Amino acid sequence: MSPLLGPSSSSFRGVVGVARQDITPPLGIHARNWGAAKHDVAEGVHRPLTLTTLTIERTRVDMAGPLVLISADLMSWRSRAAQSAVLERVFAESSLPRERMMFCLTHTHAAPSVRSEDAEKPGGLLIAAYQDQLVRAALRSISLAQMDKAEATLTWRYGRCDLATNRDLPEPGGDRIVCGFNPAENADDTLLVGRVTRDDDGRILATIVNYACHPTTLAWENRDLSPDFVGAMREVAESHTDAPCLFLQGASGELAPAEQYTGNATVAERHGRRLGFAVLATLEAMDPPGMRLVYKGVVESGAPLAVWRAEASPVGTTLAARRVMVPLPLKPKPAAAEVDDPVARERLARQRAVREIVGEGSVSEMPMWTWQVGDAWLVGQPNEAYSTFQTTLRETFKPRAVAVMNLVNGSAGYLPPRAMYDRDVYQVWQSPFAAGALETLTDTAELTLREMMQ
C-alpha cells in the first residue's frame, strides 16, 4: 500500500466559487500536434473543450483577493507570444497579483493550436480570434465564480489509479529510449482528490482531481477536438456529485496510458471512466467535512479490538501564495540547419521554438507557484517535470496533501532526472534544460514550502 494512503485528510474552510465555460474553437482551426499527422485542421468534436475556474478566499471580503485556479483543455502554449496573448491579458484585465492565479492546462493532445506563429498555416487565421475567446472565457469564469461563491470546506484525500504507466521504453533491438509503454518499470499511481462541500447544506460544490498521466490516447489518426480521457473522467465524477470537476495535470513527464496513439475515441472514453471510477472510490473513502477518524482505545471481545471513531477535527483557514523564480541551467542553443525529412524538420522546429521561450544564456529564470490552502499545498510550474518531482514533495511533507501541477502559467520543456541525460531519449533532446534542472526545481520547492510553514 502507498504510504500516502490512510484515513487522515487535509482540509480548509473558507469561501469558494466555481464556474465553467465552453472553449471549443470553430472547426477548421489549425490543430496539428503530431509530426506523423496527415491533416492540419480540426474536422470534428469528440467532446467539448472546457475551462473551469475555482476561486478560494478566507472570507467573503478578503482584502488580499481570491486565489484563482483555472483548468483549461489545451495542450501547451508553445511560444512566448501565445502565453502573452492570453495569460498576460487575463492578469491585466483581472488585476490579479502574479502569485494568485494558476492557469493550468490539462495537456490534451487533441486540442487546437494557440500559437500566433501558426497563423500562416492551414486553419491558422482562426487562432487570433480563439486567443480572444480564451481570454473572455477565463475572465467570465472568474467573475461567475465570484458571484456564486459560498462558505465551504475543501477536503483532500489520496487514492490510486493505475491508468498511468511508464512510457520510457528501451527500443527492442536498438539503443534508443522510445516514447511508449514500458511494462518493466513501475509508475506513480497516486491520485489526489479534493472535495468542496457547502457548509450550509452539505452539497458538493466542486471536485478537484490531481493526477499525472499524459492525455495522448488520441494521436495522429484522430481528427477531432477532444479533452482525451479527461472528458469522460469529468463526466463520471460530475454525474455522481452534480458539481463541476476540475482536472489538474500532475508531474507526468514519463507517464501515459499503456494503450495510446490511436484515432479511436472509445479508448479515451474507457481510460476516462477508469480514472473517474477511481475518483469516486476516493470520494467515498473521504471523511465528512471537518471530521476525522480518531483512535478511542481497545474493546476486549473474542479479540482485542482497536476502536476508531469519527469526531470533529480542526480545519485550517490559512491561505498563502508565493511566486518564486527558479534558475534552471540550459543546454547550448541548437544550431540552425536545413533538413528535408518532414519528421526531422518538425523536431528541429520544436527545439528552436522551445529555446525561444526560455531565452538566451546558460540559465533561465522559470517561475514556480506555491500555495498553502489550509494544511494542504499546491505547487505549480510551467514545465513537464518527471514524477519524482511530486513523489519527493509528497513524501517530504506527508501527511499533508500536496497537489503538484505541470504546465502552469506557461509551457516550455521537459525536466527529466539527471540520470536520464546520458540516454538517447525524446524528453532529454527536446528539453532546453541541462542535467540537474529537475533537481534544482525540487530543492527550491522543498525550501519554499518549509519557509512558508515557519
> Residue ranges of the domains in the chain?
11-287+317-453
So what's the pLDDT on residue 250? 98
d(CA 168, CA 389): 17
So what's the pLDDT on residue 361? 85
Low-confidence ranges of the chain (pLDDT < 70): 1-9, 334-340, 342-347, 350
d(CA 67, CA 380): 13
Tell me the per-residue pLDDT of 356-375, one tens digit each, with 9 for 90 and over.
788 888 999 999 999 999 99
d(CA 341, CA 99): 43
So what's the pLDDT on residue 9? 67
CA distances from 47 to 18, 28, 50, 240, 447 (A): 21, 16, 9, 19, 41
So what's the pLDDT on residue 1? 39
Distance separating the N- and C-terminal Cα atoms of the chain? 31
| Type of residue at 289 | P
- Residue 160's contacts (CB-CB under 8 Å, 6 or more residues apart) are 2, 5, 189, 190, 191, 278
What cell was used for 365? 529564470
Q: Phi, psi (5° rounding) for residue 125?
A: -65, -15
CA distances from 77 to 4, 67, 115, 352, 405 (A): 33, 22, 7, 14, 15
Report which secondary-structure segment, H or E, holds 439. Answer: helix 437-453
d(CA 324, CA 330): 18
| Helix (H) and strand (E) counts in the chain | 9, 22
Cross-strand bridge partners of residue 169: 178
Tell me the per-residue pLDDT of 33-77, one tens digit each, with 9 for 90 and over.
999 999 999 999 999 999 999 999 999 988 889 999 999 999 999
d(CA 287, CA 311): 10
Write the DSSP assignment of 323-362 as a string of letters. Answer: EEEEEEEBPPPPPP-----HHHHHHHHHHHHHHHHH-SSS
Q: How many residues does the chain have?
A: 454
CA distances from 10 to 121, 320, 375, 431, 445 (A): 48, 15, 6, 35, 19
